[in-house]
Amino acid sequence: MTSPAARNFSLGIDVGGSGVKGGIVDLDTGALVGERFKLATPQPATPEAVSATVAEVVAHFGWDGPLGVTYPGVIVDGVVRTAANVNRAWIGVDATETYSAALGGRPVTVLNDADAAGLAEHRFGAGVDQRGVVVLLTFGTGIGSAVVHNGVLLPNTEFGHLEVDGREAEHRAAASVRERKEWSWKRWTKEVTKVLVAVENAIWPDLIIVGGGISRKADKWVPLLENRTPVVAAALQNTAGIVGAAMAAHGEGMH
Ligand code: BGC
């Protein structure tokens, strides 16, 4: 499928620790055109294996238009700097080139997964019309973060790795920690509050958006939070990364 001339469409692919998800995005509305398509993240999640999976997702859509792909770690000028939740072989790899090579050399825009979700929530989701500093935190295998100021992304914030009370934030309060420890919502939310307080003391956002799969159950835990900044649940939920990747392929929010 190629992009119809009259409208802006991109394919966005969100690479996470457990799934590689893609969708064609209408950039005027932020809506997916047709179904989301998901494949399991290969294990071990090496650059070669993940890139081959990304290529399968592109082939599923038969897409030859603009393409944005996320990576769940720090990306500087296309090069991977961290790999907290994927195979360490990624470190130092040029993700832009690696994804592109698996796709026969076509251009690809690569950005951090939480940064993509932050762009999408700001433009089409829970942060629409919000001025000032918006922080998005995603709670999943790890904790991802994005900072958007008046619509422009400050890339590669890594609040999930802030030290909070002697422990890394994501080791304290990722959604995976709640599952592993079989914590109640109340118990886990205590840890999330500590992380939000550390973030708000460092950057004083106007709004915090909480995302990741666990935001679907926001009514169970967001009301229990005790930090000072207003907190809202992500609106796009499992499409935010896809939509943000598609936006980035058009250069939106990236400068
Ligand atoms: C990584 C972030 C990523 C987050 C969510 C963290 O461990 O360092 O870059 O956004 O996990 O995938």
pTM summary value? 0.95
| Tens digits of residue pLDDT in 211-225 | 998 999 999 999 999
Q: Is the CB of 120 under 6 A from ligand 1?
A: no
Q: Is the CB of 138 under 6 A from ligand 1?
A: yes
Helical spans, DSSP H, in the chain: 47-61, 95-102, 113-124, 169-173, 175-181, 185-203, 218-221, 240-249
SS3 43: coil
The angle at the Cα of 119, spanning 130 to 176, to the nearest 5 degrees, equals 105
Ligand 1 atom with the smallest distance to the CA of 16 is 12
- Give the pLDDT confidence score for residue 3 in this predicted structure: 47
Chain position carrying tokens 């922080």: 135
Alpha-carbon dihedral sign for residues 195, 14, 79, 127: negative
Cα of 142 vs centre of ligand 1, distance in Å, is 6
Residues 6 or more apart in contact with residue 184 via CB below 8 angstroms = none
- Give the pLDDT confidence score for residue 151 in this predicted structure: 86
Q: Report which secondary-structure segment, H or E, holds 80.
A: strand 79-80
Task: Inform me whether the pLDDT recorded for 4 exceeds 70.
Answer: no
- Give the pLDDT confidence score for residue 216 in this predicted structure: 92
Mean predicted lDDT score pLDDT of the chain: 94
Q: Is the CB of 144 under 6 A from ligand 1?
A: yes
Rounded Cα distance between 33 and 2, Å, is 12
Pocket test for ligand 1, best of 143, 153, 199 (most atoms within 8 A of CB): 143
Q: Is the CB of 113 under 6 A from ligand 1?
A: yes
| Tens digits of residue pLDDT in 144-189 | 999 999 889 999 999 999 999 999 999 999 999 999 999 999 999 9
Pocket test for ligand 1, best of 110, 138, 139, 153 (most atoms within 8 A of CB): 138
Ligand 1 atom with the smallest distance to the CA of 140 is 5
249: closest CA among 141, 109, 133?
Answer: 109
In which band, very low, low, confident or very high, does the pLDDT at 7 lie, cut at 50, 70 and 90? low
Ligand 1 atom with the smallest distance to the CA of 142 is 11
Q: Is the CB of 68 under 6 A from ligand 1?
A: no
Q: What percent of the chain has pLDDT over 70?
A: 96
Question: Residue 70 corresponds to which tokens in the numbers above?
Answer: 């996320």
Structural domains of the chain ordered from first start: 5-112+239-249 (3.30.420.40), 126-235 (3.30.420.40)
